[in-house]
A and B are shown apart, each in its own frame.
Chain A
């Protein structure tokens, strides 16, 4: 049993927002109750249509996506997705996104009424929407505004999901901590672009998108390390985690838990395999608990 920002988890391996739908999509492949927890696709107050295709392009050891937070909105989420999550024994953490500070607060308020929701991850780092999203998360002042408003609207654990598209991650990390976040998760995707040299056009419909996968892992490890030195609240490491070794790298850098994202597309069993590989590493090194690894990086 692991406790993260007041949320009880079976283990420290969760699945990242937007890469696991609302859970149901992967129920065919393994027992979801073996996960540490599920972080849902971002939910917005009103339905969002999403961005024009092509929405994804593969790049070296990674992919760029521009989904544009497509989802059916809070009401539909409560009706269709939440009942499925309610049947699981693992915590459901709902990821929220808004165009305005008020929208974030309203989402947090509404979701707090639901027993099934065990925590809220605040996406202030989506690079694929015109308004809101990353615009909030690259500035410490707006980070404070959003996280502060969410904090006021809910008693649930609040996880601030930070953007890597900043020069100094410690500033937004501290802003999230000081405005009441119980944990921070990082990183969201890295703004990126790929050009088709025959058509001279972007290979993504909306020109730029967010890079994910193993290609961004070293950036993520560095940022987790920097953030962990700047704040006291726990950090959830995200970015290109494909194996147990990758997850351990994040623990050593200072993460208390990890989220598996793009790897789910490649191997539906990725989170469970990663967990088994973490345990094998612990056994091999005769470490009794993974928390001995957290921040154990030697300077």
Chain B
């Protein structure tokens, strides 16, 4: 179930060169949202831009009935979003989509985030911690130091956190998929692969690399995909992604899919 609601803006903070964190109030969304789900935000009350912008739920605070979005300013829509002032209202549709799944048999969780892809992994890390009984590894990659997000948050929630930057300005130099290979070769033993789930979100190329690594080792892998969206509720079929079972909608069947299902 989802709602369309005018949510009060409680906070808007710039957290990096083009990164912002937005805190919104909604009893319904904060109560019902699951990690991996998203909201579809109307950034302008007119027709320019016309369509809503999908943004992942980054923090879900049930106690104070709020949720947070972490986003990067890329174009007109996110630019307008970054101008939204505290105290105003924002038209939000959500919570939408099908989020991350949890299997009690899986005692090891490896979170792999590339760039903005860390956004939905944080509530996931929170949830995994609450569920307990798991070793949680958080791997994050970014272009450079200034683009690396949520490092301290992950440090608090995960048993181990490793970061990489493309240019080596912070953490290891290289890609987050290199970190994953390292972890699988050196830390998580092969006999534990059947009890492991890899959760990944980030650019398509990165997800493909992570999926390959996971599939080669027969490790369960869930990926969160992105596609251009219009309705966000499964009505327009605009956000199609090819799977082994034909086209599926990223907004409703996803955004989280089993990596095995996707026709990479």
A interface, CB within 8 angstroms of B? 18-21, 25-26, 28-29, 41, 49-50, 52-58, 60-63, 65, 67, 70, 213-214, 242, 262, 264-269
- Residue pair B233, A26 in contact (C-beta under 8 Å): yes
Q: List 9 A-B contacts (CB under 8 A).
A: A19-B236, A25-B231, A28-B2, A55-B228, A55-B238, A56-B228, A56-B239, A262-B230, A265-B52
Which are the 8 A-B pairs with shortest beta-carbon distances? A21-B235, A56-B238, A25-B235, A61-B47, A265-B231, A265-B230, A268-B4, A214-B47
Min distance, Cβ A78 to any Cβ of chain B, angstroms: 19
Known: A54-B228, A268-B4. A67 touches B50 (CB 8 A): no
Total A-B pairs, Cβ < 8 A:
101
Contact A53 B50 (CB under 8 A): no
Query: Given contacts A29-B3, A67-B237, are A56 and B230 in contact (CB under 8 A)?
Result: yes
| Residues B231 and A63 in contact, CB atoms below 8 Å apart | no
Which of A25, A41, A54, A61 has a CB less than 8 Å from the CB of B48? A61
Within the complex, the shortest CB–CB distance from A171 to chain B, in Å, comes to 31
Minimal Cβ-Cβ distance residue in B for A203: B228
* Known interface pairs A29-B2, A50-B240, A213-B47; 20 further A-B residue pairs with C-beta atoms within 8 A, sorted by A's residue number: A21-B234, A21-B235, A25-B231, A25-B252, A26-B233, A26-B235, A28-B233, A53-B227, A56-B236, A58-B50, A61-B47, A61-B50, A63-B51, A67-B236, A213-B50, A214-B50, A262-B50, A266-B42, A268-B233, A269-B4
**Contact indicator B247/A49 (Cβ below 8 Å):** yes
Indicate which residue in B51, B228, B238, B242 contacts A67 across the interface (CB closer than 8 Å): B238
Find B235's partner among A20, A53, A55, A56 (CB 8 Å cutoff).
Answer: A20
The interface of chain B, by Cβ under 8 A from chain A, is: 1-4, 42, 47-52, 91, 93, 227-242, 246-247, 252
Closest to B42 in A: A266
Give the shortest distance, in Å, between A48 (CB) and chain B (any CB).
Answer: 10
**A54 CA / B3 CA spacing, docked (Å):** 27
Majority secondary structure of chain A interface residues (helix, strand, loop or mixed) = loop
Are B4 and A265 interface neighbours, CB within 8 A? Answer: no
Alpha-carbon separation in the docked complex, A20 to B242 (Å): 22
- Give every chain B residue within 8 A of A214 (Cβ-Cβ): 47, 50
Q: Contacts A50-B237, A268-B93; is A29 near B47 (CB within 8 Å)?
A: no
Residues of B within 8 A of A26 (CB): 233, 235
Cα distance A29–B3 in the bound complex, in angstroms: 6
Residue of A nearest to B252 (CB): A25
Question: Residues of A contacting B238 with CB < 8 Å?
Answer: 55-56, 65, 67
Collect the chain B residues with CB atoms within 8 Å of residue A29's CB: 2-4
**Which B residue sits closest to A27, measured CB to CB?**
B1
Distance in angstroms from B40 CB to nearest chain A CB is: 9
Which of A52, A70, A213 makes the CB contact (< 8 A) with B237? Answer: A70
Indicate if the CB atoms of B231 and A264 lie closer than 8 Å: yes
- B234 neighbours in A (Cβ, 8 Å): 21, 25
Nearest-CB residue, chain A, relative to B49: A58
CB distance from A80 to the nearest CB of B (A): 13
Which residues of the partner chain A approach B48 to less than 8 Å between Cβ atoms? 60-61
Question: When chains A and B are docked, how far (Å) is the Cα of A170 from the Cα of B126?
Answer: 62
Most buried by A among B3, B4, B47, B242: B47
